[in-house]
Amino acid sequence: MKASARDRLIIALDVGTRAEAISLALTLAPFAGWMKIGLQLFTAEGPDLVRAIRETGANVFLDLKLYDIPNTVARTVESVAGLDAQMLSLHLSGGGEMVRAAVAAAPEDLLLLGVTVLTSANSETLREVGMLEDVLRQVVRLAEIGADCGIGGIVASAREIAALRKAVGESLKLVTPGIRLRGSEEHDQKRIMTPAEAIAAGADYLVTGRPITAAPDPIIAARKIVEEIETCVFRTDRD
């Protein structure tokens, strides 16, 4: 049985305060089973916010994108395990030793997600920092490192899903940021897809933030995205 649209949708709580985050989590609970806490909010409000969001009934994706020496990353994973988050991200570009240390430190109920190439980046961004591979090849290269090290899931644009499935198979969860309804503002995202396109491509979870949280009516925006996911899930279930 496939997950419902609500269980697939992750709302990025890219706001500055605990009050805003909790208000959004409660408001959007009927549409999304997951809330993402990123660096801005975690830095502003601290670890207790994870527990506060869990009290709203939502699962938590703690999107810290860890990137440090292996020992520091491992100890951080152990600390996160005590916060009752369900997902935690780290940069696969930290290398195999770092990723293996994180995997070894993670409890079974914490899904470690390996970040490949940020959806705000493109091939020009990679060349700027000395990477000669194009985005797709770099995403696959990093995902293969994660898979070899026992990571539980991959964070990448929906545009790379087909190549990722071919490279790492069906066992890893694919989490896709940069989700936008057709015609929506792209903001600083460069590699985007619509909810229907991402689900059809094989994404397990969709992450979206400002298209919902900055909308004039977040409820209407969330409902539109969920309806599009539901339509696609129903169609793929019938297939």
Determine how many CB atoms are found less than 10 A away from the CB of residue 137.
16
Question: Using CA atoms, how far apart are residues 126 and 110, in angstroms rounded to an integer?
Answer: 30
Q: List Cα–Cα distances, 199 to 34, 61, 92, 97, 190, in angstroms.
A: 17, 19, 24, 32, 19
* Residue positions annotated with a catalytic role: 65
Range list of H helices, the chain: 5-8, 18-28, 39-45, 48-55, 70-81, 96-105, 123-128, 135-149, 161-168, 195-201, 210-213, 218-238
Residue with tokens 């070894």: 104
Q: List Cα–Cα distances, 133 to 109, 113, 128, 140, 141, in angstroms.
A: 34, 22, 11, 10, 10
